[in-house]
Amino acid sequence: MNCRGVVRELSNYLDEALDNGLRQSLEIHLEHCEDCHLLVDTTKKTIQIFCNSEPLPLSEDVRKRLHDALLKRLCHHPKS
């Protein structure tokens, strides 16, 4: 797995939709590559923020579009 592979598989990884082999090689790469580690970490936090739906200091329009896009793509387990 290289950096490009991590970017390609990132949303599957965060969805926990990767098969074990792919997931493992991605995690091994993360241990050695600070850039990708940061990317995954930042993306996870961003998703958490959006999934928790705290208002952000962005314009209403931008926030809504981002939120909708992320929810559609990544938030598979809404809190009930």
Residues that bind Zn ion in the complex, under the rule CB under 5 A: 3, 33, 36
- C-alpha dihedral, 16 to 12 to 7 to 3, nearest 10°: 50
Residue placing its CB nearer to Zn ion in the complex, 2 or 53: 2
Residue placing its CB nearer to Zn ion in the complex, 13 or 36: 36
Residue placing its CB nearer to Zn ion in the complex, 9 or 75: 9
Give the span between the Cα atoms of 68 and 50, in whole angstroms.
9
Q: How far is the CB of 79 from Zn ion (least distance, A)?
A: 32
Give the span between the Cα atoms of 64 and 69, in whole angstroms.
9
